[in-house]
Structures are given as structure tokens and as C-alpha cells.
Amino acid sequence: MSMNREGRPTRPQDAEATSETFTGNRALMLEEPLLFEIGDATLTGVDLEAAPQAESRLGGLERSRPIGLAGLSEPETVRHYTRLSRQNYAIDLGLFPLGSCTMKHNPRLNEKVARMPGFADVHPLQPVDTVRGALEVINELAFWLIDLTGMHGVAMSPKAGAHGELCGILCIRAALEARGDAREVILVPESAHGTNPATAAFAGYRVENIPANADGRVDLEALKERLGKGGEGDCDVAGVMITNPNTCGLFERDMKAISDAVHEAGGFVYCDGANFNAIVGRVRPGDLGVDAMHINLHKTFSTPHGGGGPGSGPVVLSEALCPYGPIPFTAKTKDGVVHLVEEENAAEFDHNDSFGRMVAFHGQMGMFTRALAYMMSHGADGLKQVAEDAVLNANYVLRSLEHVLDAPFGKSGPCMHEALFSDKGLADGFSTLDIAKALIDEGYHPMTMYFPLVVHGAMLVEPTETESKAALDQFIGALRSVAARAKAGDKSLHAAPVHAPRRRLDETAAARKPVLVWREPEVAEAAE
């Protein structure tokens, strides 16, 4: 066997031949069975005294059978979850190239601030007078969001991007109902995020597509033609949901013209702000005629995805939609005191036209503190550099790989924060899935696959601004190597990943017939 100086096989076939071990472990990558296979439901890891008999207070809702959880000792429990954690890819391990999802580094300063007393332990049912500092933080973040977007107001309570989309569409519905306008159509371009049509349909609208032009951007003339359908003064379009920069990684150059056309027809403009990371500090959506836009705090302002609980998707609103925004929200009076505006005091703040509540309380405090810490540590000039570096890194990836992978919109000008490739040019029988699975062997989470739908075999890569040139060069080298193998017809790619804890799964069967409950394996009866 050919070995290098570090004692590793130098040929892939040699590595595969020596990969099997008795334990299933591969050096420090430990094989880990299910919790139920380690423990036993009849055992417990601690000794507890028998609970005294007491009258049930569960009103007939008592458990009818044992819970069935496996009993593990403390070292077994710690080892189990530690081993599982080592099988998760994370932004703290390496570059996370998911396109249209902005998986960037979460600064530890933000985490420290979020854990400060008064933020980490605040409770939504505390009296308002005991949480004035927390309300001040929410209000300060709201100010920054309004200022950065050039909008008039902001709803802080939505919990995520799609939740924010719903908030914006409900504001549009409320504004139309207030003027007695029963429009029923939302236009969604082909290059928009996939949640946009789902949100519009959920809100009761009929969704119609607007095609993209050859450059991957909204076809302005097709949009104008649809808005004019039905004759003057008889437009049925409530609004357009547009993603800018779009999911082809391109800035919509005609955004202002799109907004003007929609407004002239009496509709509203909703902008999906998931890609705000590419333009923060450089472009204010309000200046482009946007009426509502959600902002994913985890994408642009570095809060963790979900944050261990609810995420946060504030929605900035134009002056036309502000009166219809949800409650609660914060407002600062002339005496400098920040108030929480609820149903009982909405009249004091001239907000009687709100469409109502979206959540029980006020938002995700942990996300608010992290996002504000990020903004204040960067400042206005730093946030501008965030967008510039994100765009620079994406274009570096695009131009470094466009001669190896097909870049369908490579000639449409510079991309924004993400680079888009397709499976065109791969050898027969090879697909985007093969490249993605081979990247796992290279130590990377795969990029976004098969999205956007307008590109066959799409591969969407977003490096973000937090990656160094050295990190980008390593990723580019890995992807270039895998792509070259796919173009050359290297059939070993079909088996990838070979170095992961699990090999390639039947994802279709897993999605359609998931096994969600572990059951004790049946012991086969001996043949007579």
C-alpha cells in the first residue's frame, strides 16, 4: 500500500480498502448507536425513592403506559450527546456555503451581551416598569432597522422570515380593506424565494408568476402588461412580492421602475429582505419604493439561526402601511421614555387601525440584543463594509469557478452575495447531487441544491463576508476538484460520501416513508 509521510493512504482506493473497523469507528469519528440501543427502558441512571401515592390532578389525562425512555448513566448520556454533536457541521467548524441562507460567523461579543442579566432572564409577563432597559434595546434596534432601510416604521414581533412575509402581506390586506379595495392577486417573480407564493396563498390571495428575462431579472414589460390587464382603474393586483437581490444572485436594476408601476396601478410592493446582507449600508429599500420588507436578523446581523428557540424577522413598513402594522411595538415619547404599545393604549399612539397581533408577546429578546450588539460594534461604516466584502467574496468564488462549472448568469454582470452554477457540462449520468455528496467527503456542508428552480441542477453558493481568502481558496479548490471528476465521468462519485458517519441515503424514501419511532428489533426464529 502506498503511504505518505503522515501514514495516510495516498490513493483513494487504498483509503477505501482500510476504512472498515471492528467497532465501526474511524479514528476519532466514533460510531454512535441510538439512545434506545445504548440504554434500557427498564433501567435508570440514578436511584430515586418511590414517589408517594397522591391524588391525581391531571383530570383524566394521566399517562396510560410507561413513557419508554431509555435509562442512561451520566457518562453514557454525556458521551452520547457529545459524540452526536461531533457529527454536526457548524459555522464554527468551517465555511457553510448555503446559498440564499447567509450562514455567517456569530461573534462571541454578541453572545456575551445576550447573556447579560436583564436580557437573558427577562420574562414577557414582567410589569413594564421592570423592563425599561429591555424595551430601550428593542426600540434602539428598531431605530437602526428603520434608518438602514429608509422606511417609516417597523414591526418587531414576527418570529422568522416567512412569519415576517405574512406580517407584510396582512398589512397590505388591511390597507386595501380600509379603502374598500377587494383585490385578490399577488404577483411573484420566478426569481423570488419559495416561501413568497406560499405566504400569499396562505393570506388568501391568488398567486400569479412574473417571468424572468434572459439576464435572470424580472421582466419589467411583462409586469407592466399584467398590471394593465383589466383596463384602467380596474386592476386586481394587490401587490408584488419581489426578492432583491434575487435568488439568481443578481440585483434587480429596475426595482424603482417596478415599484412605480405597481404603485401607479394601486398596489403595494413587498420585498423579501432575506438577502439584505448584500446591500446593507449601501442601498435603502425605502428609496426604491418598497412598502414592506422582512429582515432576517440571523442573515444580515449575525444572530444564530433560530437562536435555540424562536428566530426573529422584523418587518419594516412604509408610511402607507405603518398604521396597519401589528401590535405590540415600542414607541418613545417626548420625555424620552420608551413605552410598549398594546391594545389598551393603542389609541394614545394613534394606532387604532392595526390588523392585530402576530404573537403572544413582544419578540425574541436574545435575537434583539445580539443584532444590536452587531450593529453597534460595526457602526455605519462597518455595516457598509459587510455588504462590500460579501459581494467581493461571492464574485471571487464565481470568477474562480466559472471555467469549471457552468455559470448561467455569469455574463449578466457582477453577482451580489451568492454565486449560481448549474449541472450543465457534467458527464452523462452525473448530477448536482453527486457534487454535493462529494463535498461532504471534502469536509464541507453542501451548497444549496436545485434552487432557484429557473436553473436546471442549480448550485447556489454564498460565502458571506466572514470568510478569509485562504478559506475561500480551499473551498474553491475542493469544488473545482469534485467538478473536474464529475466532468471526467469518475464513477466513484456515485458512492460519495464514503468518509461520513453514514453513506448516501435514499432521500426520497426517507421523505415519503420516514421512520419516526424506534422499535425493538424482532429476533429471527431459528429455522427448524
CA distance 309 to 305: 9
Instruction: Convert the pLDDT of each residue in 390-421 to its tens digit.
Output: 999 999 999 999 999 999 999 988 999 999 99
Of 141-150, 232-241, 346-355, the one with minimum mean pLDDT is 232-241
pTM value is 0.88
Of 87-96, 162-171, 225-234, the one with minimum mean pLDDT is 225-234
Question: Is the predicted pLDDT of residue 140 greater than 80, yes or no?
Answer: yes
**Based on the number of CB atoms within 10 Å of its own CB, is 275 exposed (0-12), middle (13-18) or buried (19 or more)?**
buried
CA distance 43 to 15: 41
Q: Per-residue pLDDT averaged across 32-43, rounded?
A: 86
Cα(first)–Cα(last) distance of the chain, in Å? 46
- Please state, for a pLDDT cut of 90, what percent of the chain lies above it: 64
Nearest to 191 by CA among 170, 214, 216: 216
The predicted structure's pLDDT at residue 3: 46
**CB within 8 A of 99, min separation 6: which ones?**
247, 249, 418, 419, 420, 447, 448, 451, 459, 460, 461, 462
Q: Per-residue pLDDT averaged across 308-313, rounded?
A: 74
The predicted structure's pLDDT at residue 458: 96
pLDDT bucket at 524, cuts 50 / 70 / 90? low
pLDDT bucket at 487, cuts 50 / 70 / 90? very high
CA distance 271 to 318: 12
Of 140-154, 196-210, 508-522, the one with minimum mean pLDDT is 508-522
- Please state, for a pLDDT cut of 70, what percent of the chain lies above it: 93
CA distance 383 to 402: 29
Q: Which domains does the chain have, with CATH numbers?
A: 17-43+69-88 (no CATH), 110-371 (3.40.640.10), 381-512 (3.90.1150.10)
CA distance 341 to 350: 10
Nearest to 390 by CA among 245, 286, 190: 245
Cβ-defined contacts of 256-260 (< 8 Å, 24+): 256/288, 256/289, 257/220, 258/218, 258/220, 258/223, 258/289, 259/288, 259/289, 259/290, 260/289
* Contact of 418 with 462, CB cutoff 8 Å: yes
Of 132-146, 261-275, 349-363, the one with minimum mean pLDDT is 349-363
For residue 248 the three cell numbers come to 439568481
Q: In the β-sheet with 448-449, what is the strand arrangement from edge to edge?
A: 419-421, 459-461, 448-449
Of 22-26, 137-141, 363-367, 374-378, the one with minimum mean pLDDT is 22-26
Of 49-53, 58-62, 353-357, 496-500, the one with minimum mean pLDDT is 49-53
Question: Is the predicted pLDDT of residue 308 greater than 60, yes or no?
Answer: no
